Amino acid sequence: MKILQLCKKFPFPLKDGESIAVTYLSNALHQLGCEISLLSMNTSKHYVDITQLPADFNHYKEIHVTALDNSIRAIDAFKNLFSSESYHVSRFVCPDFKNKLIELLQNTDYDVVQLETLYLAPYIDVIKEHSKALITMRAHNVEFEIWERISANTKFLPKKWYLQYLTNKLKRYELNHLNKYDYLVAVSERDLRRFKSLGYKNGAMSSPIGLDLKNYQKALTQNVSNDLCFIGALDWIPNMEGLMWFIDHVWPDLSTMYPDIKLHVAGRNTPETLKALQIKNIIIHGEVPDAVDFVNQYTMMIVPLLSGSGMRVKILEGMALSKVVITTTLGKEGIHAEDGTHILEANNPSEFIYQISSVLKGDRNKVAIGAAAKKFVEDYYDHGINAKKLLDKYFALKSNPNYGKVIK
């Protein structure tokens, strides 16, 4: 099967959830015999020198990139106030990308064109004009839901009003395009139900983000620290929002109770304001060479998310490494792990302190939780198994007489 995968940013290095989700799925489909081609924007925000890709990044038949300056400019943001367009989406409208897409569609008869996230929706009409391929939307989350939650957590009223304004336009765009693709691939049953409640009517399935589990089989560090770790892309607002909430509202009391405990923070694009923090026993590592090696040094991983949507890949990675992951109910959203067995939930400062203390004091069996977490990921989030289910669905759709049209 010939699949063209469209991405709004190049899916490498594997240091954020989107890149991991895109790469592991495409790699698994390749292993199943698919011919995968990639067309990606190479953005100014997440620029990648593709001449320096590692030798094992070889699962694509072809890789095509087009440059895009998607930096946020005050003048563009101001002009958007007088436009009906979604500023979130319009930043990924790229003439070079469109022209390259047309060229590829004219030269190759693809079976499936898979859009990775809503931000590729502006190109649906182009695909329909130049191809009979099945158009699938792999929705990594409900996009407007992320921004609704960020807006709700914003206290500064002018910023809150502006975010709500942008969110409403993004929501309108997402709902208006909801039934324009042929098939929806949601990353969780929860998101699939949400899309249907919003009016999605075409064919759909849930296909969880999977991990290449062999990448998480590294032996545990000999002396695993009882310190806490946090890792995540720190140019993604929900990550920074949750981390600063933890530092402001949990850390003061926690560090008083446990004067020797440390919090180790790592993440891509760490802002200078975070690097400049001078708080005792909080160590800011910045971007680390290997996320698995970093997480493997510690017993507990905190994911204090207050906003966001979809599925948090870093939680799955922590669980795959047998870590005790402590997160909010929202952070766990889309992952059907059991609180107290596979993962620990906490939604306010006292609950975070209680859960962390229960591990430090031995009231919670950290080894048992870690082992259960690892087994849980192995059972439900293997990228090969999930890719096989998705590919079987693609073959079933291809055999449908309405293939290439909207599948009811």
Question: How far apart (Å, rounded) are the C-alpha atoms in residues 366 and 143?
Answer: 35
CB atoms within 10 A of CB 73: 11
Q: How far is CA 222 from CA 131, 218, 219, 368, 370, in A?
A: 55, 11, 8, 18, 16
Spell out the domain ranges in the chain.
2-210+382-399, 214-380
pLDDT tens-digit profile of 292-330? 999 999 999 999 999 877 788 999 999 999 999 999 999
How open is the CA angle 322-327-333, to the nearest 5 degrees?
100
Of 3 and 399, the structure prediction assigns the larger pLDDT to 3
CATH number of the structural domain 214-380: 3.40.50.2000
Q: How far is CA 406 from CA 128, 183, 184, 367, in A?
A: 11, 7, 11, 49
Kindly indicate the confidence band of residue 52, based on its pLDDT and cuts at 50, 70 and 90: very high
Residues sharing a CB contact under 8 Å with residue 52, sequence separation 6 or more, in sequence order: none
Kindly indicate the confidence band of residue 219, based on its pLDDT and cuts at 50, 70 and 90: low
Check whether the bond before 252 is cis (ω within 30° of 0): no
Whether the predicted pLDDT of 401 surpasses 80: no
Read off the pTM: 0.89
Mean pLDDT, the chain, rounded, equals: 92
Cβ atoms 97, 39 nearer than 8 A: yes
Whether the predicted pLDDT of 77 surpasses 80: no
Of 26 and 219, the structure prediction assigns the larger pLDDT to 26
pLDDT at 402: 66
CATH number of the structural domain 2-210+382-399: 3.40.50.2000
Question: How far apart (Å, rounded) are the C-alpha atoms in residues 169 and 155?
Answer: 21
Q: Do domains 2-210+382-399 and 214-380 have the same CATH topology?
A: yes
Whether the predicted pLDDT of 391 surpasses 80: yes
Q: How far is CA 206 from CA 5, 141, 157, 237, in A?
A: 18, 11, 37, 26
Q: How far is CA 362 from CA 224, 310, 365, 366, 370, in A?
A: 15, 32, 6, 8, 14
Taking residues 108-121, report their average pLDDT: 97
